[in-house]
């Protein structure tokens, strides 16, 4: 078993190094950065092959007007369950791998709600690029044709559409709907649990922090109690995240609920020096229960269900799932 800081190591050629341009970049095929700056890589926006012979068993439905994938334990509602909110990377709701991931948690006794946090607009690498180009304005078309990094530009456009001001209201609607639809599971677990991968990791951390009134979100939200903002308890009881993207040290500093973090060594999208280390120190100072596990020799996105040829990556994927599951089960 790995300690809190270092997990399974793959000593083969799977390592990360710095590119000649001075920007840290993974040598795993397809694990390039989507743009300059710590944003998203292709492992956040493109699925690995699904495990052979497996098919999703949950169902697509709506919860408080939001599209969701719901995976239930086989004996629910005859046996008690706990509610788990699963937030995905950029591949989103329709990803078979994400649905299978939800099913895995359901098989362990959780009633899993996986919302479409992107409002039917998953990341560009996971949809038909032709459709994206047809929807672009004339100026965007010019940029698409002339930009050296077409994928980088598309991710820029996509990220601009999916900010906390857009995503959080969707998540609040889902949580409110779950409180009515699955009140039994929430009561049985003493609250809502959360797991997040890549893009979704940031929002699990936000939901694990003190919340301002969701009705007053965005630029016009009150900044303090005198202006009418009322801080509320975190919306999740405990959370576990893997290889977050767009996470800031401020996100970690604000956490109040117990959290487990699976990180990747030398991950340019979740910097240890700029984000993870100062965030961890803040959680220690704030006496927030947490565990950080750093995995070596694996690509960003490794914990998302999907097939790899490298047995060491497969082993780390299984280990990360077990650690995340164990954390939410233990809280």
Q: What is the DSSP string of 135-158?
A: HS-HHHHHHHHH-S-HHHHHHHHH
Q: Are β-strands 66-71 and 59-63 bridged in parallel, bridged antiparallel, or unpaired? A: antiparallel
Give yes or no for residue 38 having a pLDDT over 50.
no
For the chain, give the percent of residues with pLDDT over 90: 63
Per-residue pLDDT tens digits for 246-268:
999 999 999 999 999 999 999 98
Q: What is the pLDDT of residue 140?
A: 63
Does residue 116 lie within any of the structural domains? yes
Does residue 298 lie within any of the structural domains? yes
Q: What is the pLDDT of residue 145?
A: 55
Q: What is the pLDDT of residue 152?
A: 72
Does residue 265 lie within any of the structural domains? yes
Does residue 5 lie within any of the structural domains? no
The CA-based angle 24-30-35, given to 5 degrees, is 50
Does residue 220 lie within any of the structural domains? yes
What average pLDDT does this structure show over 102-110?
A: 97
Specify the CATH number for the domain of residue 133: 3.40.50.1820
What is the overall mean pLDDT for the chain? Answer: 81
Tally of domains in the chain: 1
Per-residue pLDDT tens digits for 269-282:
899 999 999 999 99
Does residue 50 lie within any of the structural domains? yes
Q: Which residues, in sequence order, are bridge partners of residue 87?
A: 196
Q: What is the pLDDT of residue 141?
A: 59
Distant-in-sequence, close-in-space partners of 126: CB < 8 Å, separation ≥ 6: 45, 46, 47, 90, 91, 92, 95
Supply 40's token pair: 């998203």
* H-helix or E-strand spanning residue 131: helix 129-135
Give yes or no for residue 244 having a pLDDT over 60.
yes
Q: How far is CA 166 from CA 219, 249, 316, in A?
A: 12, 21, 33
Does residue 40 lie within any of the structural domains? yes
Give yes or no for residue 150 having a pLDDT over 90.
no
Question: Which structural domain range is residue 100 located in?
Answer: 16-325
């Amino acid at each position: 078993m790995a300690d809190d800081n270092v997990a399974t190591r793959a000593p083969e050629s799977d390592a990360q190094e710095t590119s000649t341009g001075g920007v840290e970049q993974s040598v795993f095929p397809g694990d390039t950065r989507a743009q300059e700056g710590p944003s998203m890589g292709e492992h956040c926006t493109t699925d690995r092959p699904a495990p052979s012979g497996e098919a999703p068993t949950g169902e697509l439905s709506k919860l408080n007007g939001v599209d969701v994938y719901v995976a239930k334990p086989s004996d629910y509602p005859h046996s008690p369950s706990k509610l788990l909110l699963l937030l995905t990377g950029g591949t989103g709701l329709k990803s078979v791998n994400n649905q299978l991931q939800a099913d895995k948690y359901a098989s362990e006794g959780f009633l899993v709600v996986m919302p479409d946090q992107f409002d039917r607009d998953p990341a560009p690498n996971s949809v038909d690029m032709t459709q994206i180009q047809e929807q672009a304005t004339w100026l965007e078309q010019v940029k698409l044709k002339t930009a050296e990094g077409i994928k980088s530009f598309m991710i820029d456009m996509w990220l601009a559409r999916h900010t906390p001001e857009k995503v959080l209201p969707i998540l609040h609607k889902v949580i409110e709907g779950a409180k009515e639809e699955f009140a039994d599971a929430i009561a049985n677990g003493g609250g809502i649990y959360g797991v997040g991968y890549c893009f979704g990791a940031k929002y699990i951390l936000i939901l694990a922090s003190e919340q301002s009134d969701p009705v007053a979100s965005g630029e016009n939200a009150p900044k303090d109690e005198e202006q009418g903002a009322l801080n509320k308890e975190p919306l999740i009881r405990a959370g576990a995240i893997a290889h977050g993207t767009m996470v800031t040290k401020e996100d970690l500093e604000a956490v109040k609920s117990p959290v487990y973090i699976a990180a990747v060594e030398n991950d340019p999208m979740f910097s240890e020096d700029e984000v993870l280390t100062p965030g961890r120190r803040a959680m220690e100072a704030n006496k927030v229960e947490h565990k950080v596990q750093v995995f070596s020799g694996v690509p960003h996105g490794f914990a998302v269900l999907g097939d790899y040829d490298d047995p060491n990556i497969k082993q780390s994927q299984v280990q990360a799932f077990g650690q995340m599951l164990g954390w939410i089960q233990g809280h």
